[in-house]
């Protein structure tokens, strides 16, 4: 191989080369040096080297089976070459054949006991096979062979993580730092891995150390900032992101994260500076939406609307901006603005169908029933089997004063294609018309025909709860879980019902936590968890859970009312009043979101019962 490498720089070759200096393949140079050191003076044949080069081409093309074939041909004329054996082991590993990979790598280390790459790769393969003790032997051997090479340290640290020994992993990266002053890869990679695993204390120590050694590592700073945010230290998160921006002022993700951190730290002015910079760099229509939703999460709807309106003026004719603007206005319960925005989506757009249905709903909620029904009819003609369109159309007919037509539309849909969603819509319609017992009878008949239909069982449980039959609702939710133990909505519903009744709060918490495992960051489920804490009398934890729920679903009246209740119990009266008033504002814009129907009156009573402050003297 050394002779072949020398041939590549012969005078004739140099004469034929272009004048521009070719790129240096450092990996190939390292392989050649390592192989030369381990080959004890042997030279590869031209055939062997040709097949080796073919294997690398196939490797980089993703053809690992072809690379195996080429390496086998190379080994036919250069049997026992440790570089070729190591590469063959790598290709087998990439194909998922760990047994063959291990076999070839063992041949490599037997042939050349001091060949560093073979020990490292064998350590990786054995780690993947969960044979940690043997993997550790080879990785430690690799470290002893080349104590100033970082790779073996990193793999050894990963091995200790896989073994559940994070302290040992920390010791490994500390040894790497001692052997390689200024090298931060160990602190960096282990810190990121621990952060992903939720080990925030160790992760923070390592990432702080990595940032100190390499202040320009934007990825480390960003990960550290995310860790600070996850542990409720937004000011520190923003400060860390500002340091990252000193190194990369145009990083869009860092600017977005910095804006969000500033909002959480309570500074709309600083957030606007970050977001304005971000929007000046990006022409993607999704970016104003991400900024707008960041403002919404921080309860700054005015700023959200301003961003979207400016984006729409600057990008005339961009249908996605109109669509996203409609989504934001819809979330803010500004239904007239939402309808206008959705109207800006042209029929040829891929989001037109959804925009039309959303526009119809916004018009219906605004009381413009005729225009809404026209849009729904067109949508249902094009998609007669769309359950959601049919259910929304029926609700719009009911709002418009024709509940009989709404009921008929739903029954027609059920006759054509029964579904739990249509049964739910019809049961809710009957309940609103004072025919709750008829709704329950309808659903019981449906469940009798399909007794293991988890969605129908859930709908029946919800109908019992609407009728005020908490015991029946609990029984039905348990029936759902008997059929589908991981039905997240049923787990949450059961936990909430238990909390409401003050029954078995330990089971309630267990059920809700399982729902959150299945669907993390769901505002309604966090609300249920907060309510479990509230009913237990653990008001501080209730506030924490309900604040997180309100961040995820900032305009849900039930969550806002529960949050106000929790604030009241921890003597934060101003915050309680603000939460209840915000819930009333939402109910004014969207009366249908009341839960229960008399929620508005209950909120008004709570506000009146708050003690008034004595005037200043």
**Gyration radius (Cα) of the chain, Å:** 32
Give the contacts of 78 (CB within 8 A, at least 6 positions apart).
44, 45, 48, 84
For residue 287 the two structure tokens come to 């970016």
Q: Distance (Å, rounded) from C-alpha 27 to C-alpha 58?
A: 16
3 state SS for 297-324: HCCCHHHHHHHHHHHHHHCCCCHHHHHH
Task: Report whether pLDDT(594) > 70.
Answer: yes
Structure tokens that stand for 19 in this block: 């004048």
**Residue 378 above 90 pLDDT?**
yes
- What was the pLDDT predicted at 9? 32
pLDDT in tens, 119-136: 999 999 999 999 999 999
Confidence of residue 444 (pLDDT cuts 50, 70, 90): very high
Q: For residue range 242-269, what is the model confidence (pLDDT) as tens digits?
A: 988 988 888 898 899 899 899 988 899 9
Q: Which residue has the tokens 């909620």?
A: 365
Residue 431: predicted pLDDT: 95
The answer to whether 454 touches 487, Cβ cutoff 8 Å, is yes
Per-residue pLDDT, 544: 95
pLDDT tens, 88-105? 999 999 999 999 999 999
- Give the per-residue pLDDT at 448: 96
Whose structure tokens read 């050649």? 32
Model confidence pLDDT, tens digit, residues 515-558 = 999 999 899 999 999 999 999 999 999 999 999 999 888 889 99
Block residue for tokens 């052997």: 179
Is residue 472 scored above 70 in pLDDT?
Answer: yes
Q: What is the CATH number of domain 1-174?
A: 1.25.40.10
Quick check: 142 pLDDT over 70? Answer: yes
Residues 6+ apart with CB under 8 A from 361: 372, 392, 396
Q: Answer whether residue 40 shows pLDDT above 80.
A: no
User: Which residue ranges make up each domain of the chain?
Assistant: 1-174
Give which of 331, 359, 332 is closest to 347, Cα–Cα: 359
H or E element that contains 150: helix 150-162
**At 296, phi and psi to the nearest 5?**
-60, -40
**How far is 593 from 609, CA to CA, in rounded Å?**
24
> Both tokens of residue 21?
């200096």
| Residues 486-525: tens digit of each pLDDT | 999 999 999 999 999 988 999 999 999 999 999 998 999 9
Residue pair 574/562 in contact (Cβ under 8 Å)? The answer is: no
> Could you tell me if 486 and 518 are in contact, meaning their C-beta atoms sit under 8 angstroms apart?
yes
Q: What is the pLDDT of residue 99?
A: 93
The pLDDT confidence band at residue 67, using thresholds 50, 70 and 90, is very high
Query: Long-range pairs for 365-368 at CB < 8 Å and ≥24 separation?
Result: 365/335, 365/399, 365/590, 365/592, 366/335, 366/336, 366/339, 367/399, 368/339
Mean pLDDT of all residues in 351-363: 96
Closest CA to 250 of 219, 277, 211: 277
Residue bearing the bigger pLDDT, 218 or 458 = 458
């Amino acid at each position: 191989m050394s002779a072949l490498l020398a041939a590549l720089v012969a005078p004739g070759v140099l004469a034929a080369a272009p004048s521009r200096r070719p790129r240096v393949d450092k990996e190939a140079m390292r392989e050649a040096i390592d192989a030369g050191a381990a080959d004890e003076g042997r030279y590869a044949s031209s055939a062997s080297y040709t097949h080796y080069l073919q294997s690398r081409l196939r490797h980089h093309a993703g053809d690992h089976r072809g690379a195996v074939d080429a390496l086998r041909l190379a080994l036919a004329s250069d049997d026992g070459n440790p570089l070729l054996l190591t590469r063959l082991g790598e290709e087998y590993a990439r194909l998922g054949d760990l047994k063959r990979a291990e076999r070839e790598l063992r041949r490599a280390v037997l042939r050349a006991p001091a060949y560093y790459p073979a020990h490292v790769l064998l350590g990786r393969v054995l780690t993947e096979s969960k044979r940690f003790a043997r993997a550790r032997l080879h990785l430690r051997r690799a470290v002893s062979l080349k104590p100033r090479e970082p790779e073996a340290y990193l793999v050894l640290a990963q091995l200790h993580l896989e073994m559940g020994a994070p302290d040992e992993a920390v010791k490994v990266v500390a040894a790497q730092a001692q052997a390689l002053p200024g090298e931060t890869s160990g602190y960096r990679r282990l810190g990121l891995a621990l952060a992903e695993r939720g080990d925030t204390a160790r992760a923070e120590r390592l990432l702080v150390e990595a940032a100190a050694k390499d202040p320009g590592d934007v990825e480390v700073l960003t990960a550290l900032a995310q860790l600070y945010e996850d542990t409720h230290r937004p000011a520190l998160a923003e400060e860390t992101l500002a340091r990252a921006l000193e190194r990369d002022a145009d990083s869009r993700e860092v600017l977005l994260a910095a804006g969000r951190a500033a909002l959480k730290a309570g500074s709309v002015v600083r957030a606007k500076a970050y977001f304005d910079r971000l929007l000046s760099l990006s022409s993607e229509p999704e970016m104003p939406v991400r900024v707008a939703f960041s403002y919404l999460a921080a309860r700054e709807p005015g700023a959200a609307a301003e961003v979207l309106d400016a984006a729409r003026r600057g990008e005339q004719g961009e249908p996605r901006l109109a669509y996203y603007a409609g989504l934001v206005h819809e979330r803010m319960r500004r239904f007239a603005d939402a309808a206008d925005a959705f109207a800006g989506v042209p029929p040829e757009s891929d989001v037109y169908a959804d925009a039309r249905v959303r526009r119809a709903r916004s018009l219906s909620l605004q009381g413009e029933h005729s225009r809404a029904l026209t849009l729904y009819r067109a949508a249902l003609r094009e998609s007669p089997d769309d359950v959601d369109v049919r259910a929304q159309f029926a609700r719009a007919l009911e709002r418009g004063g024709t509940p009989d037509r709404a009921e008929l539309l739903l029954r027609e849909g059920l006759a054509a294609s029964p579904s739990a969603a249509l049964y739910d819509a019809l049961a809710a319609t009957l309940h609103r018309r004072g025919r709750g017992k008829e709704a329950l009878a309808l659903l019981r008949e449906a469940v009798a025909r399909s007794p293991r239909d988890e969605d129908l069982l859930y709908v029946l449980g919800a109908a019992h709860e609407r009728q005020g039959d908490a015991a029946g609702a609990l029984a039905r939710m348990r029936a759902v879980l008997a059929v589908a133990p991981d039905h997240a909505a049923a787990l949450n519903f059961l936990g909430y019902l238990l909390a409401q009744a003050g029954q078995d709060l330990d089971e309630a918490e267990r059920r809700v936590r399982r729902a959150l495992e299945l669907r993390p960051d769901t505002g309604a489920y966090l609300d249920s968890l907060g309510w479990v804490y509230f009913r237990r009398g653990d008001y501080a934890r209730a506030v924490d859970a309900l604040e997180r729920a309100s961040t995820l679903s900032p305009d849900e009246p039930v969550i806002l009312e529960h949050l106000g209740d929790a604030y009241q119990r921890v003597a934060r009266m101003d915050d309680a009043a603000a939460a209840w008033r915000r819930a009333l504002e939402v109910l004014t814009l969207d009366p249908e979101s009341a839960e229960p129907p008399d929620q508005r009156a209950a909120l008004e009573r709570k506000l009146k019962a708050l003690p008034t402050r004595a005037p200043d003297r």
